[in-house]
Amino acid sequence: MAVYTEVTDEALRAFLADYPLGALRAFRGIAEGVENSNYALKTASGDFILTLYEKRVDPRELPWFLALMEHLAARGIDCPLPVKATDGVALRTLAGRPAAICTFLPGVWPRRVRPEHCAPLGGALARLHLAGADFEEVRPNGLGPRAWAPLLDRCRAGGDAVQPGLIAELDAALAGILAAWPAEGALPTGQIHADLFPDNVFFLDGPEGSPRVSGLIDFYFACTDLLAYDLAVCLNAWCFETDGSYNVTKAHALLAAYQRLRPMATAERAALPALCRGAAIRFLLTRLYDWMMTPPGAMVTRKDPLEYLRRLRFFAGAEGPSSLGL
């Protein structure tokens, strides 16, 4: 759920006075996005999104995220463009929190992923990677392989209460993933989104009625990491059906469309199964941690960590890249 921080009208007016956006027309909390407070903002200049960054986001990292979005938008990626105030600064303060206004992106995120979504997604991801190639400032992946063992340790005490034997299974799986992980420099790296779930991708119908990507949002997990890891995240997030089965048609559409714009190196293709297991354990561990740490009365949707245990098991049993749709 969203909107943790309430903004008084006086504070909002004072904040908007620093922008060349004209008179305030509307301001509504958006029920989407888990990490930050998002408001739909309408002014005489049009529609915008106002984001107040909540505690999970490190304020020192915000300039990197905003600079990346500005870089990508300037290269034609349909991502939120931070709007600068009249003094040229996009990152500001509102209601005691870091805050920024970004452009509004049209489109609807798919509540139910269809195979037709996956090719446009693959193309958009490849374009994102290509557009990020000349963004040089590095942000390490705070939730990459080095973070997983410490995260698993923090789940050790209560994890088996979520499912008996869970921690032993994850210990073994993690050891295997880390052993199979590509060596530093072995695979192409760059700026990745690292959280490109369906609710972060907007679609509109194209001229022939088929969906096309109209927007990529929520870059607050973006980082500098293996490009193919972004594909592994997407295969996890887009290609499983509600019954837990892997939809190889979706995966193939995603990977083929991606490779039309950025063909994967042989080493990337070989590493993909391990990267998929890595992405599965990353989301499994953060969900497990949140599950264990979220007080029952909290106003946050707890996401089932065990969904990703099933995905991890699938990828562990997958026989080579072709069974993943490559």
Binding interface with its own copies (CB under 8 A): 1-3, 6-10, 12, 23-32, 40, 42, 47, 104, 106-108, 110-112, 202-205, 296-297, 299, 301
Asked whether 92 and 46 are in contact (CB, 8 A), the reply is no
Amino acid at 160: D
Residues constituting the chain: 326
Which C-beta is closer to its own copies: that of 60 or that of 111? 111
Which C-beta is closer to its own copies: that of 96 or that of 296? 296
Which C-beta is closer to its own copies: that of 59 or that of 206? 206
Q: Which two tokens stand for residue 275?
A: 């990267």
Asked whether 13 and 43 are in contact (CB, 8 A), the reply is no
Which C-beta is closer to its own copies: that of 42 or that of 310? 42
**Contacts of 188 by beta carbon, 8 Å cutoff, 6+ apart:** 226, 227, 228, 265, 268
3-state secondary structure of 243: coil
Instruction: Look up residue 240 and give its DSSP letter.
Output: B
Which C-beta is closer to its own copies: that of 64 or that of 220? 220
Instruction: Look up residue 200 and give its DSSP letter.
Output: G
Among the listed residues 119, 324, 166, 122, the one whose alpha carbon sits nearest the alpha carbon of residue 240: 324
Task: In angstroms, give the least distance from the CB of 113 to its own copies.
Answer: 10
Asked whether 105 and 78 are in contact (CB, 8 A), the reply is yes
Which C-beta is closer to its own copies: that of 97 or that of 277? 97
Instruction: Look up residue 17 and give its DSSP letter.
Output: T
The torsion angle over the Cα atoms of residues 265, 268, 270 and 271, rounded to 10 degrees, is 170
Task: In angstroms, give the least distance from the CB of 53 to its own copies.
Answer: 17
Which C-beta is closer to its own copies: that of 296 or that of 317? 296
Task: In angstroms, give the least distance from the CB of 245 to its own copies.
Answer: 19
Task: In angstroms, give the least distance from the CB of 11 to its own copies.
Answer: 8
Q: Alpha-carbon distance 13 to 136, whole Å? A: 36
3-state secondary structure of 11: helix
Task: In angstroms, give the least distance from the CB of 295 to its own copies.
Answer: 9
Task: In angstroms, give the least distance from the CB of 10 to its own copies.
Answer: 7
Phi, psi of 316, rounded to the nearest 5 degrees:
-65, -30
